[in-house]
Structure 1
Amino acid sequence: MVAEKNIIFFDGVCGFCDKTVNLLLKLDDRQALYFSPIQGEAAKEILPPERRENVDTISYYNGDRLFYRTDALLEVGKTLGGIWWLFYPLKVIPAEWRDVAYDWFAKRRYRFFGKMDSCRMPTPEERARFLD
């Protein structure tokens, strides 16, 4: 069931997002994370419409709550555990402050990393980790 999974919603045509998903697949030894493009069907089921329209923002659903921007990144780190959990105390910094740098980068990510013609196709080994 989709609603019980830890899901990262990413921009399916963003070069940086694709590289990030590839990295997370390698780091997630426990296979706790699942992935769905914001443009996909799982996003329609879980994300509110305004979040599906804003592809500049990563969203993370932990089976209970939705997180956006740096809150999403910190929650993903917490889910990964290990050294990535060490970043979680940054939550004490107000999200409005943390998100300034996030927003700056998000607006320029296509310029830095390019835009793909279509959403990534997972390999057969990755397929179980992608919802659409």
Structure 2
Amino acid sequence: MTTEISVNLKDKFIVFFDGECGFCNHWVQWILERDKKDKFLFSSLQSEFGQNFLTDRNLPNKVFDTLYLWKPERFYLSKYQAILKIAAEIGGIYSLASVGKILPDFVGNQFYNLVSRNRKKLADNQCFLPNAEQRKKFIEK
């Protein structure tokens, strides 16, 4: 099954995250609160849309320990590079994260993997309940 791209998605960045992880949900909230330019949409990796994204790219679709950032018809990034790009797109003081580009990807990804392995210990699993305006930014199908 191919992921369908509607016209309005082409100009957005889509953040794919583990929808069952409290730590991941915390960072989704963080992005939502700072996305003043309305650049981001979100989809859990467990959703139909998320599963299609993974399947279309032959990516693992049962283990959800990686964040993906997708710009439809352009690129997708994972792990450390995705975090740097999100910070750059949010802008302002968060643009300073681009200094992290001086690290080789394998070093940044090793740090990402360390956090990912311990993420369930770093945050509780309380459910994030987006408000009506924020719900518009979530893609399920």
Class of the TM-score when normalised by the shorter of the 2 chains = 0.7 to 0.9
- Residue among 9, 12, 17 paired with 2:24: 17
Q: Secondary structure at the match of 1:60?
A: strand
| d(CA) in 2 for partners of 1:28, 1:9 | 16
Alpha-carbon shift at residue 40 of structure 1 (Å): 1.1
Count of aligned pairs between the two proteins: 130
User: Which structure 2 residues correspond to residues 1-132 of structure 1 after superposition, within 5 A?
Assistant: 1=6, 4=10, 5-47=12-54, 48-63=57-72, 64-115=74-125, 120-132=128-140
Runs (5+) with no aligned partner, structure 2: 1-5
- The normalised TM-score by structure 2 is 0.81
Q: Is the 8 A contact 1:16 1:113 kept in 2?
A: yes
| d(CA) in 2 for partners of 1:11, 1:40 | 10
Q: Secondary structure at the match of 1:84?
A: helix
| d(CA) in 2 for partners of 1:128, 1:84 | 24
| d(CA) in 1 for partners of 2:99, 2:122 | 29
Runs (5+) with no aligned partner, structure 1: none
Aligned-residue Cα RMSD (Å) equals 1.9
Q: Deviations over 1:80-124 (max 9, x none)?
A: 1111112113223211011111111101111222446xx755332
Letter in structure 2 aligned against 1:83: I
